[in-house]
Each structure stands twice: as C-alpha cells, then as structure tokens.
Chain A
Amino acid sequence: MYTIEKGFEKVNLEFVESGQIMTIKLKGDLDHHSADESRVLIDEKIKDEKYNKIVIDLKNLDFIDSSGIGFVIGRYKVIRKRNGVIEIVNASKKVRKILDMSGIGKIINIK
C-alpha cells in the first residue's frame, strides 16, 4: 500500500499482481495534485512488459475530476503501446458520472 499525502489531500494506491494482470486499487481523491505522484508510482510498477492488462479498481475512490480522467487516459496510452488493455471496475455513482461524461468508455472498458 502506497500513500501519497501532502497537505490536505490523500490518495492510497494498492497494487495486486496476478500473472500478467496488475490491479491498482485507488482510494481517496484523484485530482491534479494526487495524479502527479500516482503517475510516477504506477508507471514504475507497470513498466515490466509482462503486464498486458491493468485493472483500475475505483471502489474506494471518493473523488475524481478531469485531471483524474487525464491520468487514466495516460495509463491507457502506456499499456496500449504494448498491445495491452485497461479496465475500470467498481466506480461509484458519483465517479461514474464524470467517467460517462468524459466518453472514456469508448476506449476503456468500464465494468
């Protein structure tokens, strides 16, 4: 479990590896501030090209804005370069609202 905490904000990252699948569990708020450091940690974790599927579990994510959407699209670009896929699971109703509005579901499977 990785915790990024600066000032008022906190996001937790938990990585669960299962063969070629890396599940990333996000907890807390994903905005411009927290996305910057989450990006570094996640890209370091998934740099091993054996991972061809990234599952982003948003069950415990309280908040996301368009910076968070940009962050997810950024990881999609990373994994697409190796012909991998990204899946988003367990988004709450309020998180789902901005995911749907962004149209991200056209390129990333949302379950």
Chain B
Amino acid sequence: MQNNYVFIKIPSYSTNESFARAAVAAFCSSLNPTIEEISDIKTAVSEAVTNAIIHGYEDEVGDIEIQCRIKGQMVEIIIEDFGCGIVNVEKAKEPLFTTKPELERSGMGFAVMETFMDELIVLSEKDVGTKVIMRKTINSRK
C-alpha cells in the first residue's frame, strides 16, 4: 500500500482514547507489523491523545485531529489539538515532569512516545495548540 492516508477528528472525551489507538492500529495493519510494533504504536497514540485531553483542553472539550499517512514502510502519525498549548516543550519532554501530579500523572507521556516510535516532533504554541508528529518504520513480518 503506497501513500495511503486517513484523517480522524474526535472530541476530547477520554472514552475516545481507546478508539483512537485502535483506529490507528487498524490503519497500520496493512504494513503487516509485528505484535510488538503495533503495541508500540497504540501506546504512543494513547499517550498523545491523553495529553491532548488532559493538558490541551483540561476541563473543556475540543477537537483532536489525527492524521495517519503511510509512506512506503514508514507510518507518520500527527495528533493535533487546539487547546492551551505547551509553554516549554523541552521541559514537558523531560521524563517524570508533570504539571498535574495530583491526578497521578506519571510524567512519562513524551518519554514513552520517544521510546516507542522512531521519531517524535512536538510543535506547540501557547493558546493555539499542540501538534505531535511521530514516525515509525515498520519491518514487516516475514
């Protein structure tokens, strides 16, 4: 499958976290990923969508846009919210950093995305929103 893509738009309800990761996993299945690869993608997507819900929109409901694109054996996943944005992206990416310890946040979301995907880019602007771009090359099962 060459240059296939999908676009999903969901409201920031936490119940949509599982839908988002399942939908992206289903889209990526055409690359014949291993169970570990698909698990990595689901985890990374879950982290990005959860961040958008908890940190991007906090107590409000807004749109989360998910774009997935397959380029050869590489999948690119873009998860974007239009919420409060991140003032200091580098600080937010530090493992164990969280602005919401009272919610039992582990502060590991970006660290998980970085570990489980090949590439992570976080673009954010205060009061505009956050765009997370993740890429992973799938080594198809033989």
- Using a CB–CB cutoff of 8 Å, the interface residues on chain A facing chain B are 6-9, 29, 31-33, 35-36, 39, 63, 65-67, 69-71, 73-74, 93-94, 97-98, 101-102
Contacts and interface: CB of A to CB of B under 8 A. Distances in A.
Contacts of A32: 14, 17, 50, 53-54
Given A94-B35, A94-B39, A31 B112 contact: no
Given A8-B18, A101-B115, A39 B104 contact: yes
B15 interface: yes
Contact of A33 (B17, B36, B42, B103): B17
Interface string B94-129: 000000000111111101100100000000000000
Given A65-B50, A73-B104, A74-B104, A8 B16 contact: yes
A74 B35 CA distance: 29
B138 interface: no
B13 A101 contact: no
Contact of B47 (A66, A74, A97): A66
Contacts of A66: 47, 50, 105-109, 111-112
Given A98-B43, A101-B112, A101-B115, A70 B17 contact: no
Contact of A31 (B35, B46, B115): B46
Contacts of A73: 104, 106
B50 A8 contact: no
Interface residues of B, number: 29
A65 B47 contact: yes
B118 to A, nearest CB: 16
B15 A7 contact: yes
A93 B107 CA distance: 23
Contacts of A93: 36
A33 B15 contact: yes
Contact of A70 (B18, B19, B35, B106): B106
B18 A67 contact: no
B104 A65 contact: no
A33 B42 CA distance: 15
B104 A70 contact: yes
